[in-house]
Amino acid sequence: MALTITCPICGKRNGYEFKFGGEEKGPRPDEKDLTPTAWCEYVHMNKCVAGVQEEWWFHKDGCGSWFKIHRDTTTNLEMEVPKVKHPAAKIGGGKSDEQA
Amino acid sequence: MKEIQRVSPVGFKSTPLKTIKRDNWEVVMEYSGEGDGPWLVDLSHRPRFDLQDSNLEAFTPFGLTIPKVPGDCVLENGVLVNRMNGTQVSIYNLEAQDISMPDESGYTDVTESTICIALIGKETFSICEKLTALDFKDPQKKPPFLFQGPFSHVPCQIVTLSKEGDKSGLVLTCSRGYGRDMIHSIQDAGVEFNLNPAGETRFTNWIRIGSKIS
């Protein structure tokens, strides 16, 4: 099935109306004490997740909005916003909410 | 002093029966063989403005209140105000006379940079269906409402003014450079529905009736 994307203004539309804007990488790093290496990593390095990732899209053929969606890169389908996993899952390797 | 010549990028092969000169535009009021509809009308000479500001609530263009929700429109006294997103509004003067751009900052005159055409009459949406995937007959949308999306693969603003059978109609704008090809594709799609070019008078009469029923 072709990719469809839900624009916050125009609603669900054909993916060809949009331009990919890259992975969501969090806020721009503070320029104070920013090393070239750290900046290079922020700009160029990607996680390339095989699964659900948060990413930016631009509605170029529509309203011109920039917005974020979650997309499963293995199926190329837009996903609902995933549930927030329990912090312990990241830190201690414990079970997430979904696993529990 | 020489006068400028303002030329619409939209051209029809039909023979004009009545033309007038208005603001240096050559406006066709009536074409020969307009038929019973549907009709395609060139409105590129009608003034259009964009308004951009972070506080749109402070503006009342031509005395109209700007809709709060993107996609909603207001049509009053021949002026159409379309909310595009959080910071932008497009304004079409479809019928009102003697309107000039407000002096406030934030307005841009886009009359010369875009084309504006109206598709009105029966089978309007049958023609659109051949050119775009946009759902003009969405029962949840009440006219007038704005779509921003591809029409014949060209990014357009399309305002549906009426969904009522033979009184159906919409107004479409897109970049001026697409004018000739946009007309070509719409006319080609409309051949099986007997689509004909019509003059401004046809649209003016339609919108006066259409605004009451939509």
Q: Using one digit for the tens of pLDDT, what is the confidence trace for B49-96?
A: 999 999 999 999 999 999 999 999 999 988 999 999 999 999 999 987
The lowest-confidence range among A56-65, A81-90, B61-70, B168-177 is: A81-90
Confidence of residue B103 (pLDDT cuts 50, 70, 90): confident
CATH number of the CATH domain containing A65: 3.30.2270.10
Task: Tell me which CATH homologous superfamily contains domain B16-45+111-213.
Answer: Probable tRNA modification gtpase trme; domain 1 (3.30.1360.120)
- Global pTM reads 0.86
Mean pLDDT of B24-42: 92
| A98 lies in some domain | no
Q: Tens of pLDDT along B150-164?
A: 999 999 999 999 998
- What pLDDT score was predicted for residue A83? 63
Strand-pairing partners, residue B145, are B72, B160
Mean pLDDT of A47-70: 94
| A61 lies in some domain | yes
Q: Do A61 and B84 touch (CB under 8 A)?
A: no
What's the domain range around A16? 4-91
Mean pLDDT of B137-154: 94
Q: Tens of pLDDT along B6-19?
A: 999 998 998 999 99
Q: Which of B87, B148, B174 has the highest number of chain A CBs within 10 A, making it the mutation to test binding with A?
A: B148
Q: What is the ipTM of this complex?
A: 0.82
Mean pLDDT of A86-92: 44
| A63 lies in some domain | yes
Q: Do B149 and A9 touch (CB under 8 A)?
A: no
Q: Is the peptide bond before B38 cis (omega within 30 degrees of 0)?
A: yes
Q: Which of A19, A63, A66, A67 has the highest number of chain B CBs within 10 A, making it the mutation to test binding with B?
A: A63
Token pair of B135 as six digits: 């759902």
A/B interface, count of CB pairs below 8 Å: 29
Give the minimum alpha-carbon distance from B170 to chain A in angstroms, rounded to a whole number: 17
Whether residue A23 contacts residue A52, with contact meaning beta carbons closer than 8 Å, is answered with no
Please name which of B72, B50, B46 lies closest in space to residue B61, comparing C-alpha atoms.
Answer: B50
**Burial environment of residue B80 by CB neighbours within 10 A (0 to 12, 13 to 18, 19 or more):** buried
Interface of B with A in 58-77 (CB under 8 A): 70-71
- What pLDDT score was predicted for residue A69? 96
Measured between beta carbons, which residues in chain A are less than 8 angstroms from residue B155? 60-62
Interface residues of chain A, partner chain B, Cβ below 8 Å: 9-10, 13-14, 17, 59-65
| A97 lies in some domain | no
| A100 lies in some domain | no
Please name which of B85, B156, B77 lies closest in space to residue B115, comparing C-alpha atoms.
Answer: B156
